[in-house]
Structure 1
Amino acid sequence: MSQLPIDLKGSSFTLPVLHLHHTDPSAVRQALQEKVSRAPDFLNNAAVIVDVTVLTREVNWHQMQKAILSTGLFIVGISGCQDAQLKNIIIRSGLPVLNAGQMHTAIKHNMTPAGLSSKTRIIFSPVRSGQQVYAENSDLVIINSISEGAEVLADGNIHIYGMMRGRALAGANGDENCQIFCTNLCAELISIAGHYWIMDQIPSEFIGLASRLYLQDGVLTIKKLN
């Protein structure tokens, strides 16, 4: 047992990033409320990073922060801040401003020297509601079904040989080359390197079919598996 009252250790978490493209807090609040209502299990009380790349000191940050918090999201950090005055305002509001370059470097240091490990994590049992399975620095293979309310994550690709009703997040460390393969797609949410679709965004003609999902020019793309 440690003799110190605390330990400070590094770790990694997968968090959604909210990219702000509008300076009007009311417009942002309305858009967020619509997204939360469409994916409540994923976004209710979710911790998020807010990307403010397009914002300047002209924005009313206090109103913007209030608008985001009013939707039930929790802001744990700010990224992409290019304006020194806005950065000071954000820091005074009690939020940390994250350095994207340092975050990317940390991710690379957490990976094996050759990128992802060649070892694949294989799960044979069903992944039930409330459970989470994470394959760090590797691909993930599920040879069973994933229930609604369950979540599977991998830094690499995800292969699901069964009914997929839960959430699948591939490329959790930001690798946009990762893909998701599924024999029966009925997912609550599909995400690759932070680019995601909730169920009603998945093209209806692919529901229940064997499908492959990947990013093409930064856009989530889906094709049928032959």
Structure 2
Amino acid sequence: MSTDSQQNDHHSPVLEFKSSTFSVPVLVLVSNDAITIEQQLQGKIHLAPEFFKNSPLVFDLQELNKHDLDIDVTELINIIRKLGLLPIGIRGGAAQQNQQALELGIPVHSGHSTAVSSGTQKQQTPEPEAATPEPQVVAETATLITHPVRSGQRIYASGDLIILAQVSAGAEIMAEGNIHVYGSLRGRALAGVQGNTEARIFCSDLQAELISIAGNYKISEDLNGAVLNQPVQIYLQNHTLVIKDI
């Protein structure tokens, strides 16, 4: 190779930074009791293990600090990691808490909107194009999403979830009630995530990576080819997922 070619190679860019949108759960703490935090967090993970498996997580200490409740950030991070979650940010921390997090390689996150909490959910209106790192959380009887759910997005509804467009591969949708998808369902769909065994999933075109009701799930490899690419309803019967044509 000539010297000129080598010089050109050195000056050619081999990387670039691009802005992008990533959706991660936010753990909002309202108690500093480490034992209770671990127990309740473990319970939520148990209800939807595939959703939370190796999931990145931002933890929010704003409510604790608002009520002068101190917490050992190192212990909290250890609990989160022990349960198989990956803490990637701290939010709402005091200066000392932020410093503790930084010393453990956890960056300080400056966002202010609220997402999933350890005990209760707080309302957040879905914004189709908003560049927010949290899942979209709503506290209504039914949540209507009219735009496609893109890969990497996570949507959580505390009631029923109705999606009038497709759910792309790599996307995750969760609801405490029923899920209705009137386009292709290619991502993950988890209904009845708080243990509602009566919840159902309805979709116009089943191509899902994972379907789950009240913690009972099947992955794509477990789905019968006869039900793929078909409009179906999915429900629990004797702790077994049943998939029927509509």
What TM-score range do you get, normalising by the shorter chain? 0.5 to 0.7
- Alpha-carbon displacement from aligned partner over 1:16-66 (angstroms, at most 9, x marks no partner): 4699xxxxxxxxxxxxxxxxxxx9xx686359xxxxxxxxxxxxxxxxxxx
Q: TM-score, normalised by structure 2?
A: 0.49
Question: Which of the residues 120, 123, 130 maps onto 2:152?
Answer: 130
In structure 1, the residue matched to 2:196 is 175
Question: Which of the residues 209, 216, 235 maps onto 1:188?
Answer: 209
In structure 2, the residue matched to 1:223 is 244
Q: 1:18 to 1:206 in 2, by over 3 A?
A: closer
RMSD: 3.2
In structure 1, the residue matched to 2:132 is none
Query: 1: distance between equivalents of 2:160 and 2:200?
Result: 10
Structure 2 stretches lacking a partner, 5+ long: 1-27, 32-36, 57-80, 85-117, 122-138
* 1:217 Cα offset (Å): 1.0
Q: TM-score, normalised by structure 1?
A: 0.53
Kindly tell me the number of residue pairs found equivalent between the two proteins: 136
In structure 1, the residue matched to 2:54 is 45
Structural mapping, 1:28-39, within 5 Å: none
Query: 2: distance between equivalents of 1:210 and 1:160?
Result: 10
Structure 1 stretches lacking a partner, 5+ long: 1-6, 20-38, 48-73, 78-105, 111-116
Query: 2: distance between equivalents of 1:185 and 1:212?
Result: 9
Say which SS state the counterpart of residue 83 (structure 2) adopts.
strand
Residue identity matched to 2:194: N
Q: 1:181 to 1:8 in 2, by over 3 A?
A: closer
Query: 2: distance between equivalents of 1:8 and 1:118?
Result: 22
Aligned-pair identity (%) = 40
Q: Establish whether residue 209 from structure 1 lines up as the match of residue 234 from structure 2.
A: no
- Alpha-carbon displacement from aligned partner over 1:107-131 (angstroms, at most 9, x marks no partner): 8x98xxxxxx872100000000000
